[in-house]
């Protein structure tokens, strides 16, 4: 149990988690709740109770798709997506084995691509994802269709603001 978890997550996410009173409106509206091991309202309670070990090992933190439905439904205007971001960052920073390594492989490949190019370059992101996840042959048919339609350019195109994007990552300590 971590006594500082609530303060840390509140500071990193900017969300008033201490106001959550378990009305469950977030969980009722969450489109991904069937994939979570703990529903969003329970994640909120676990943060309040400092259940860091259980949260960092949970599937829930990686299954959130940041759709913001919960934030639009919450009577206390708590957005859960940034809370999940904080918990994900802690999971990676502390070397905890994630509950869903394949999702983590996609997540880190996506973030690495933005960090490098200032935007996503699909080809290198997908290569990295395949290597990390070892899912070498999955979705090849879809990938080929996208490639033939010119949706996966081979050469990366850097953002004009790549230096600023790198700075954002640096300031965030990522
Ligand atoms: S909707 Fe808001 S107050 Fe209600 S359980 Fe979810 S986070 Fe807590
Ligand atoms: S932001 Fe995450 S937790 Fe909230 S409704 Fe969407 S998937 Fe569910």
Q: What is the pLDDT of residues 37-61, one digit of tens each?
A: 999 999 999 999 999 999 999 999 9
Distance 127 CA to ligand 1 centre (A): 38
User: Residue ranges per domain, the chain?
Assistant: 5-93, 101-171
Mean pLDDT in residue range 129-151:
90
Query: How much is the pTM?
Result: 0.84
Probe residue for ligand 1, chosen from 6, 19, 22, 47 as the CB with the greatest number of ligand atoms within 8 Å: 22
For residue 96, what is the DSSP state?
A: P
Distance 66 CA to ligand 1 centre (A): 16
Q: What is the pLDDT of residues 79-124, one digit of tens each?
A: 999 999 999 999 999 999 999 899 999 999 999 999 999 999 999 9
The residue to mutate among 18, 25, 47, 79, having the most atoms of ligand 1 within 8 angstroms of its beta carbon, is 25
- 118 in Cβ contact with 167 (< 8 Å): no
Instruction: Judge contact between 17 and 78, C-beta under 8 A.
Output: yes
């Amino acid at each position: 149990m971590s006594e500082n978890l609530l303060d840390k997550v509140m500071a990193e996410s900017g969300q008033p988690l201490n106001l959550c009173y378990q009305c469950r409106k977030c969980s009722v509206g969450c489109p991904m709740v069937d994939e979570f091991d703990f529903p969003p309202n329970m994640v909120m309670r676990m943060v309040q109770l400092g259940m860091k070990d259980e949260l960092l090992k949970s599937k829930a933190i990686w299954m959130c798709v940041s759709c913001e439905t919960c934030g639009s439904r919450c009577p206390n205007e708590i957005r859960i997506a940034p809370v999940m971001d904080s918990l994900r960052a802690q999971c990676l920073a502390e070397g905890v084995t994630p509950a869903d390594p394949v999702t983590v492989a996609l997540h880190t490949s996506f973030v690495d691509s933005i960090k490098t190019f200032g935007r996503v370059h699909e080809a290198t992101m997908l290569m990295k994802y395949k290597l990390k996840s070892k899912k070498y042959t999955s979705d090849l048919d879809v990938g080929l269709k996208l490639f033939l339609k010119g949706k996966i350019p081979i050469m990366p195109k850097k953002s004009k603001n790549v230096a600023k994007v790198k700075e954002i990552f640096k300031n965030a300590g990522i």
